[in-house]
Amino acid sequence: MVAMAWPVGAAEVAVREVTIRTLAAQMKYDRVEFRVMPGSQLRLKLVNDDEMPHNLVVTRPSGDKGLALAQKAWALGEQGMAKQWIPEDARVVAATGMVAPHAEEVLAFQVPQEMGDYPFVCTFPGHAMVMNGVMRVMSEGPKLSEGKFQLYLGKWGQLPDFGQLQPLREGALDDGLIGWKFDDYRNDFGIRFTGKLEVKDEGVHQFFMASDDGTRLSIDGKVVVKNDGVHPPGEDKVGKVGLKAGWHDFQLDYFQGTGGAELYVAWEGPKFSKTWLTRTERQTGDAAREEPAKGLPLVVKEEAVIYRNFIEGMGARGIAVGYPGGVNAGFDAELCSVLLVWRGAFMDAQRHWTGRGSGYQPPLGYGVVALPRNVPLAVLASAEAAWPTMPKDLPNGDWPEGYRFGGYALDKKGIPTFRYAYRGVAVEERLEAAAPAGPSGAGLQRVITLRSGAPVKGLYLRLAVGAGLEAGRDGVYPVEEGIALHAASAMLRKSAGQTELLVPVVLVDGVARVEVSYHWNH
pLDDT tens, position by position, 120-133: 999 999 899 999 99
Task: Look at residue 287 in the predicted model and tell me its pLDDT.
Answer: 38
Rounded percentage of the chain residues whose pLDDT exceeds 90: 55
Once rounded to an integer, what is the mean pLDDT over residues 160-187?
80
How far is the C-alpha of 436 from the C-alpha of 371, rounded, in Å? Answer: 22
Is pLDDT at 290 greater than 80 in this prediction?
Answer: no
Q: Are residues 430 and 406 in the same domain?
A: yes
Residues 487, 351 within the same domain: yes
Same domain, 464 and 496: yes
Residue 373 has pLDDT above 90, yes or no: no
Q: Give the span between the Cα atoms of 514 and 193, in whole angstroms.
A: 73
Banded pLDDT at 155 (limits 50, 70, 90): confident
Of residues 97, 106, 103, 105, the one with CA closest to residue 124: 97
CA distance 436 to 154: 61
Is 177 contained in some domain? yes
Q: String of b and e for 214-253 (b: at least 16 CB within 10 Å)?
A: bbbbbbeeeebbbbbeeeebeebbebebebeeeebebbbb
For residues 314 and 412, state if they share a domain. Answer: yes
Q: What CATH number has the domain bearing residue 205?
A: 2.60.120.1560
Q: Which pLDDT score is estimated for 295?
A: 63
- 101 and 169 assigned to the same domain: no
> Could you give the number of structural domains in the chain?
3
In tens, the pLDDT along 415-432 reads 999 999 999 999 999 999
CATH number of residue 23's parent domain: 2.60.40.420
The Cα 136–Cα 116 span in angstroms is: 6
166 belongs to a structural domain:
yes
Mean pLDDT of the region 280-302: 61
Is 10 inside a domain boundary?
Answer: no
Give pLDDT tens digits for 237-250: 999 999 999 999 99
Q: Are residues 390 and 420 in the same domain?
A: yes
- Phi, psi angles (nearest 5°) of residue 95: -155, 140
Q: Between residues 63 and 220, which one has the greater pLDDT?
A: 220
Residue at 1 is within a domain: no
Average pLDDT rounded to a whole number, residues 156-164: 94
Q: Are residues 305 and 265 in the same domain?
A: no
- DSSP bridge pairs for 460: 378, 504
Range from 173-182, 217-226, 480-489, 495-504 that averages highest in pLDDT = 217-226
DSSP string covering 32-57: SEEEE-TT-EEEEEEE--SSS-B--E
**Can you give the pLDDT at residue 291?**
41
Does one domain contain both 308 and 254?
no
Alpha-carbon distance of 29 to 22, in angstroms, equals: 4
Range of the domain at 269: 145-289
Q: Mean pLDDT across the chain, nearest whole number? A: 86
Closest CA to 36 of 134, 107, 179, 121: 134
Average pLDDT on 362-374 reads 83
| Backbone φ and ψ of 397, nearest 5° | 85, 5
How confident is the model over 33-81, as pLDDT tens digits? 887 888 888 999 999 999 889 999 999 999 899 999 999 999 998 899 9
Is 117 contained in some domain? yes
- Asked whether residue 81 falls in the same domain as residue 115, the answer is yes
